[in-house]
A = this chain, B = another copy of it.
Amino acid sequence: MKGDQKVKSPSAFRKYRSAIDAELRWVLAGRKSPLYEMMRYHLGWVDEQGNPSPGSPGKALRPTLCLLACEAVGGSWHKALPAAVGMEMMHNFSLIHDDIQDDDRERRHRPTVWSIWGKPQAINAGDALATIAGLALLGLAHRGIPAGKQLLTHKLMYEACLTTIEGQYLDISYESRFDIVVSDYLEMTERKTAALISHSLEVGALLGSDDEAVIRGLSRFGWNLGMAFQVRDDILGIWGDEMKTGKPWGSDIRHKKKSLPIAYALETAKGKARRELVDIYQEEVIDDEGVRAVLGILEAVEARVYAQGLANEYHDAALEQLRGLSLLRWPRSQLRDMTRFVVERES
């Protein structure tokens, strides 16, 4: 059955995986405070007692894209490793704090950092990880990157991080609002997700080339890819398979997220259906019955079809960006596969 076929993940994920892991471990090596055990736990390397664990690390999407971009423009991807892991650390810092802010007890099939060590220490773990992301970039000096480009990399990473936090601000501020429409959602998602993905590609390209047009082009490609990625994430957050996503059934609805399908329903549902949606979202806790009712409303306005259509539009725009750029053959085809992967993935 076609629907049951696993979407193939691009081979770039496997190509760079061990180098990304080794660089991450190197950045954290020799650091003794229990803070770093919390990070190693979050990254899936150890269990909560600090023993090595098979874990379930993330996809490493951002560093993989960073290295692919570097290679695509003719650079040596090894040189971009410090920046790639800096981006991955920034992303993971935001996840640790996100889980605290959303009161999420589970991520990637495991208890979240705060649910084990408490919120005050989890705030510290996130803060420390964001700080180490900055220190990770210092490795660029040992890979022959000129000082000017190193400084520009700092700038791009911190701008991406700041934009991500602005997006997180909007996301939380939407929780208490019921006038959220698709354009609000897009404004939030540009910041919360697309910026860091776009900057990961931009930094990779910058470290591999001096050609501003191609650097800018890959940044725009990354922006569209990031938007497509998040829209697909929102679909999985409502209709995804719990076993594959690691998120409990109806997770985003229970968390009253104003994800794309909900923003679309708030914008398009009329009369009784819209009132019911708002009523359910205003309840203290959304139970199974509430989740089913929301799913019914989403179905009535065809929110899933709309969302996947939008993901596909970003997919097409990303490929369109790619077509205009002069890139090496293998990484170009990988970037194309990556684009397809983000809109078809099941987890």
Q: Which A residues lie at the B interface, using CB under 8 A?
A: 33-35, 97, 100-102, 119-121, 123-124, 126-128, 130-132, 134-135, 137-138, 141, 147-148, 150-151, 154-155, 158-159, 161-162, 165-166, 168-170, 172-173
> Cβ of A135: which chain B residues have Cβ within 8 Å of it?
155, 158-159, 162
> Cβ of A128: which chain B residues have Cβ within 8 Å of it?
162, 165-166, 169
> Cβ of A35: which chain B residues have Cβ within 8 Å of it?
165-166, 169
B124 near A100 with CB under 8 A, answer no
> Cβ of A165: which chain B residues have Cβ within 8 Å of it?
35, 124, 127-128, 131
B147 near A151 with CB under 8 A, answer yes
The 10 A-B residue pairs with the shortest CB-CB distance in the complex, in nearest-first order: A147-B147, A101-B120, A134-B158, A128-B165, A131-B162, A131-B161, A33-B166, A124-B169, A35-B169, A127-B165
- What's the least CB distance linking A13 to chain B, in Å? 28
A173 near B121 with CB under 8 A, answer yes
- What's the least CB distance linking A187 to chain B, in Å? 11
Residue of A33, A120, A137 most packed against chain B (CB within 10 A): A120
B130 near A172 with CB under 8 A, answer no
**28 residue pairs from A and B, CB less than 8 Å apart:** A33-B169, A33-B170, A34-B169, A35-B165, A35-B166, A97-B127, A100-B120, A100-B123, A102-B120, A120-B172, A121-B172, A121-B173, A124-B172, A126-B127, A127-B127, A128-B166, A130-B130, A130-B131, A131-B158, A131-B162, A131-B165, A132-B162, A134-B134, A134-B158, A135-B155, A135-B158, A147-B148, A151-B151
> Cβ of A123: which chain B residues have Cβ within 8 Å of it?
97, 100-101, 123
